[in-house]
């Protein structure tokens, strides 16, 4: 797991994850995005980019596709030369000194060819651990979900 100076707390339907700033990311408000109104859409919106547009995916707390319309913000991150977005209920920037992340790779086979979705975890007393995304694997996972939809 690469060292990160900051983490972005990403709340998905009541469950928190962390996104390390080993990847660059941008938070966009809904009104700055092109909304996808198609019923049942897994891609909730697009962000205009110099080379076209980047999708913002909507998933639930278990990272399964979720079609929803009541959302306000998305985080766009880069991985493997791609820009992808994730619709989030909560987004909070956390400084490195506020977060103690330990290496953690889940047992079991990796769910994507790019590896495991998580590479670390933040453990605090009295709280369930917060898992830290591996941006490359997360991007691969989201694109495969889209391809399978």
Give 46 or 115: the residue with its C-beta nearer to another protein.
115
* By the rule CB under 8 A, 34 interacts with another protein: no
Q: Interacting stretch for another protein, rule CB under 8 A, among 23-31, 37-45, 61-69, 86-94?
A: 61-69
Strands (E), 13-136: 15-20, 25-29, 34-35, 43-49, 52-57, 73-79, 82-88, 90-95, 101-103, 118-122, 130-133
* By the rule CB under 8 A, 129 interacts with another protein: yes
Q: Which of 103, 113, 147, 148 binds another protein (CB under 8 A)?
A: 103
Q: Interacting stretch for another protein, rule CB under 8 A, among 26-34, 43-51, 76-84, 117-125?
A: 117-125
Strands (E), 50-89: 52-57, 73-79, 82-88
Q: How many other C-beta atoms lie within 10 A of the C-beta of residue 107? A: 5
Q: Interacting stretch for another protein, rule CB under 8 A, among 47-55, 65-73, 81-89, 99-107?
A: 99-107
CB 60 within 8 A of CB 66: yes
Cβ neighbours for 22, distance < 8 A, ≥ 6 positions apart: 2, 3, 4, 135
Q: How far is the CB of 79 from another protein (least distance, A)?
A: 17
Q: How many other C-beta atoms lie within 10 A of the C-beta of residue 37? A: 8
Q: Which of 108, 113, 147, 148 binds another protein (CB under 8 A)?
A: 108
Q: Which of 63, 88, 99, 143 binds another protein (CB under 8 A)?
A: 63
Give 34 or 90: the residue with its C-beta nearer to another protein.
90
């Amino acid at each position: 797991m690469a060292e990160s100076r900051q983490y972005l707390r990403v709340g998905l339907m009541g469950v928190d994850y962390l996104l390390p700033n080993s990847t660059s990311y941008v938070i966009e408000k809904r009104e700055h995005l092109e909304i996808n109104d198609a019923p049942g859409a897994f891609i909730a919106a697009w962000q205009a980019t110099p080379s076209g547009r980047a999708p913002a995916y909507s998933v639930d707390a278990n990272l399964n596709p979720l079609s929803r319309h009541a959302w306000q913000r998305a985080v766009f991150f880069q991985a493997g030369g791609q820009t992808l977005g994730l619709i989030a209920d909560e987004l909070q920037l956390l400084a490195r000194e506020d977060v103690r992340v330990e290496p953690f790779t889940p047992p079991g086979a990796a769910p994507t060819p790019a590896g495991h979705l998580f590479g670390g975890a933040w453990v605090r007393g009295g709280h369930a651990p917060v898992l830290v995304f591996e941006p490359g694997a997360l991007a691969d996972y989201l694109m495969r979900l889209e391809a399978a939809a």
